[in-house]
Amino acid sequence: METAQVPAGATGVIEIDLAQIRANWRTLAKRVAPAGCAAVVKADAYGLGAKRIIPTLYEAGCRNFFVATQTEAQTAIALAPGATIYVLDGVMPGCTHEMAALGVRPVMASLDEARAWAALATSAACAPPAALHVDTGLNRLGMSEADFAALVGDEQLVGRLDIAMLISHLACADDARHAMNREQLVAFNRLRARLPKARASLAASDGLMLGKEFHFDLVRPGYALYGGQAAEQRAPVQPVVRVSARILQVQDVPAGAHVGYAASYCAPSPRRIATVAAGYADGIFRHASAANAETGGAVAIRGKLAPIVGRVSMDLITVDITDVGDPAPVRGDFVDLIGPELPLEAVGAAARSIGYEALTRLGARFHRHYVDHGD
């Protein structure tokens, strides 16, 4: 990690490689061509900072962005001039005129939304462009097939809409062998045939690895842009984040001493324990805690893994550094929470979760340090 530009008082740092984000987007764009490649930048660009990430992706050539909310769309507009912004949560009741004025595209998921958006049509023009989210089996968000049939069968309603994109989302794309991928593809093609003029988008980060037939007109990677590798078939991307925190104290504890809340860990022999300045308030999984009967998460120190011992608390974790070797870690040293030896997926799995959560839960107390060594 580059520490020269990190504030001296920073106890935790997220190093974000902007050049690698550009490289990841360009790699995925090349892989899915001739389909287009968007970028999902919801949740403050997965916690990495939309105000830096969106311009970086725009510089790479991205001109289609997906956010979750209208508020996120307002941020994206200023950072990506002329780009097309899609709002995945659609348009909230009473907000149609406000969203239309922004010039962004709601991803409508219900007949009520479609009717409200169609009300913006005039005698001279249909409503502004929007996307339509159809459910093909995830049963989370999206218009049912019955409601979709009602929409396309209502000539007056569909005639007042400019449905620029038909969207669905895969439930099991991280497992290339799962039968549901094919089932959803068939369902999406069936619905798409009812709106042949609309562009289509089905695949996100994992789905784009399923093959060309899943790409349609536009793919929507998010997690993969930031180095995430959830699918069994690995995306051709590289990590972009390294998360580190400082050691606050090092102490030797005797055999039989307890470490952390609830005395859940008892030292089996004399151990050297480092207390590190990161806890669940910073996004460290509490499930990364470890007791004698079960292992938890780990940190990396100079390339060696050191296990978390005891309970993860609000601001602190305790780590067994007995076997790290020389030179012995000391107060002020950084340890890696996410990095070369601890990829996102491993961090998530150690806490019985996923890499997506490990990335997006990182807290505001981490100093975000952006590096850019050029393309």
Per-residue pLDDT of the chain (375 residues; tens, 9 = 90+): 666 677 888 999 999 999 999 999 999 999 999 999 999 999 999 999 999 999 999 999 999 999 999 999 999 999 999 999 999 999 999 999 999 999 999 999 999 999 999 999 987 788 999 999 999 999 999 999 999 999 999 999 999 999 999 999 999 999 999 999 999 999 999 999 999 999 999 999 999 999 999 999 999 999 999 999 876 767 889 999 999 999 999 999 999 999 999 999 999 999 999 999 999 999 999 999 988 777 899 999 999 999 999 999 999 999 999 999 889 999 999 999 999 999 999 999 999 999 999 999 999 999 999 999 887
Domain ranges (residues) in the chain: 34-226, 241-371
What's the pTM?
0.94
- Cα distance between residue 362 and residue 368, in whole Å: 10
Nearest C-alpha neighbor of 168 from the set 153, 152, 184, 157: 184
Assess whether 356 carries a catalytic annotation: no
Give the list of residues 6+ apart from residue 97 with CB closer than 8 angstroms, or none. Answer: 120
Output the pLDDT for position 1. Answer: 62
Contact 184, 151 (CB under 8 A): no
- Cα distance between residue 128 and residue 193, in whole Å: 22
Report, at the CATH architecture level, how domain 241-371 is classified: Beta Barrel (2.40)
Q: Which long-range contacts (CB under 8 A, 24 or more apart) does 293-301 make?
A: 295/350, 296/350, 296/351, 297/347, 297/350, 297/351, 298/342, 298/350, 299/245, 299/335, 299/336, 299/337, 299/342, 300/335, 300/336, 300/339, 300/340, 300/341, 300/342, 301/329, 301/333, 301/335, 301/336
Instruction: Classify 132 as helix, strand or coil.
Output: strand
Output the pLDDT for position 276. Answer: 98
Assess whether 86 carries a catalytic annotation: no
From the candidates 30, 212, 261, 304, which is the catalytic residue?
261
Instruction: Give domain 34-226's CATH number out of 3.40.50.300, 3.20.20.10, 3.40.50.970, 3.40.140.10.
Output: 3.20.20.10
Output the pLDDT for position 373. Answer: 87
From the candidates 42, 46, 58, 86, which is the catalytic residue?
42
Output the pLDDT for position 4. Answer: 61
